Amino acid sequence: MSLPAPQADAYLRAGIRLPSGTAREPSRAAGERANGERDGYDRLSRSEAGGWGEGVAMAAGDERVPPGLDVSRPNVARVYDYTLGGKDNYAIDREVADLSHEVMPARAGARANRAFLRRVVRFLVAEAGVRQFIDIGSGLPTQGNVHEVAQALDPAARVVYVDYDPVVLVHAQALLGRTNTTEVVTADVRRPEEIAGNATVRRFLDFDQPI
């Protein structure tokens, strides 16, 4: 079994162990970098039209990285953001997503899942009168997430995002900035009492009202 050099290197950088005996093919073009970048362009980037692998012009090294993030390894929240068509991801995340989609295509399912979330939030705000939300296992708060949908209908709606991944907290703080209507906390769904008892959650939400 043999793999093209960029694909093999992407697997290795992602921490995926190659099967015994797998050979690494040489690069197909002179100057092609092992991480999928060629001639200053990232061929795995999302195009403005929403496609993948269409050669979006992106100078290597131009991506801004918030302090405290390691973008040499993929992160599942950023991989999902890329799958949804988002821009809060890095080359390694896009490589892993594209490789995984070759094995199990998931873009349509991910987008259907996000569309369902939007419909539910719209109903809860517009029809049920709910103005407070806790999104557990939220991932990155981008691409039509709960606060965007709820606050488009009522700017005073309050949302707390909960995720056990500390990388999500760093990204969310950079994305959301200072706001009086959205918070992010690090906690684990397997310990719900810690979420319900979290000081930020308790301060931010009124547990006497629907959540």
Counting as low any pLDDT under 70, the low residues of the chain are 1-63, 66
Q: What is the pLDDT of residue 5?
A: 63
What is the enclosing helix (H) or strand (E) of 133? strand 132-136
Cβ atoms of 27 and 34 closer than 8 Å: yes
Q: Report H helices in 41-90.
A: 76-83
pTM of the model: 0.63
Q: What is the pLDDT of residue 200?
A: 94
Q: What is the pLDDT of residue 32?
A: 37
Q: What is the pLDDT of residue 4?
A: 60
Cβ atoms of 2 and 23 closer than 8 Å: yes
